[in-house]
Amino acid sequence: MTTPSYRIEPLFLPASLDAAEAADFLEFSDLSDALALELWGNLDRATPRKARLEGWRDDEYGKLRLFFVRLDGRMVARSWIRFPQQENLQDAFLRVDVLQEFCGRGIGQALLRHVEALAAEDGRSTLQSFTEHAPGFDPDGPGILKPGTGTGGVPAAARGVRFAVAAGYTLEQVTRFSALDMPPSDGVLDALEREATGIAGDQYEILGWTDRCPGEYVEQMAVLMSKMSTDTPAGALHYDAEVWDAKRVRHVEDEWKRTGLESLVAVARDRASGELAAYSVLQHTGEKPWLAEQDDTLVAQAHRGHRLGMLVKVRNLRRLQEDHPEVERVLTFNAAENDHMLAINLALGFRPAGYDGEWQRRR
């Protein structure tokens, strides 16, 4: 049987949202929102237009290429591929999506072959992707495909799962997507903070800032942020240790601002040594006023066991309540096998809201 051929067009990013050449980008953004609504029924996981435009631009750390297919003049499918430029030079990260009413026509296969060929041309031998799965299934029940980690799972019959398996990808890890309704229950933060402080004692102080790390801590933040690539569970997914310095911290902070994010940062500082022992980032954008997103949280290995993860998360949630009382919920993502961080989130009131399958294919 001959697979249909489709015209795969590149997406060119405009200078701004109101530029004359922005029409394709705006339609692509609408397609991305429609795909999110099909799966989740809301736009919680959809990136706002401004954040897409700025976040998709190339920089010294990564290059992104985006593509689409039109049928009868309408964008109905998309793909993208990201090429890391500093570490993970053998890797490419890709994704293919097709609106439900246009599935089964070979569009997804054509898009996948196209981005895989681009990866091969660039010398990338390890391909990674992810599938999204709304709640309503038991990740440990029947009909579940288990990942290489053995923890969690995704529905084996799901369209994205069948597509990935047929294309030769292996499910290496499952990520739990969780949501916290705001504000937290009365007294929950107070009780958790008292308990954690009782364990941490007076060895640490909890500090915070918005958007930009004070100069006196930026080198230490670079050390902590580099550990996100080595000290968090990744199963058999290939990730190189990232090299961070003050320049890279400032680059990320500048990107956050360009994409319209306000970033609340809380850190735990060892009073005796002056060393930063933990950090957590909580982000909010005026384009999605009902929502905040929990970004990185990390406790350096030498300082674990003192409930610092709880303390920095509580500090940020208090600040969020004070500064943005309009926020209705907070989202976060954790590896299904990350029992410690999941326990913190459950204690705070986060509830499972879905799962992502993390896939890999080695050439």
pLDDT per residue rounded down to tens, the chain (363 residues): 456 789 999 999 999 999 999 999 999 999 999 999 999 999 999 999 999 999 999 999 999 999 999 999 999 999 999 999 999 999 999 999 999 999 999 999 999 999 999 999 999 999 999 999 999 999 999 999 999 999 999 999 999 999 999 999 999 999 999 999 999 988 999 999 999 999 999 999 999 999 999 999 999 999 999 999 998 889 999 999 999 999 999 999 999 999 999 999 999 999 999 999 999 999 999 999 999 999 999 999 999 999 999 999 999 999 999 999 999 999 999 999 999 999 999 999 999 999 999 999 998
The length of the chain in residues reads 363
* Token pair for 173: 């890890």
- Please give the full DSSP string across 143-181, using - where no structure is assigned: TEEPPTTSS--EETTSHHHHHHHHTT-EEEEEEEEEEEE
Which residue type is seen at 353?
A: A
Helix axes 246-258, 218-226, angle to 10 degrees: 90
User: Which of 227, 174, 195, 210 lies closest to 333, judged by CA?
Assistant: 174
Helix ranges (H only) for 43-179 are 49-55, 107-121, 159-166
The neighbouring-strand residues paired with 64 are 82
Q: What is the DSSP letter of 259?
A: T
Q: Please give the helix or strand (H or E) that residue 267 lies within, else none.
A: strand 261-270
Radius of gyration of the chain (CA): 21
Q: Name the one residue in this structure whose structure tokens are 């890999």.
A: 360
Nearest-5° Cα angle at 324, 320 to 327: 90
CB atoms within 10 A of CB 215: 8
Position 1 scores a pLDDT of 46
Distance CA 315, CA 280 (A): 9
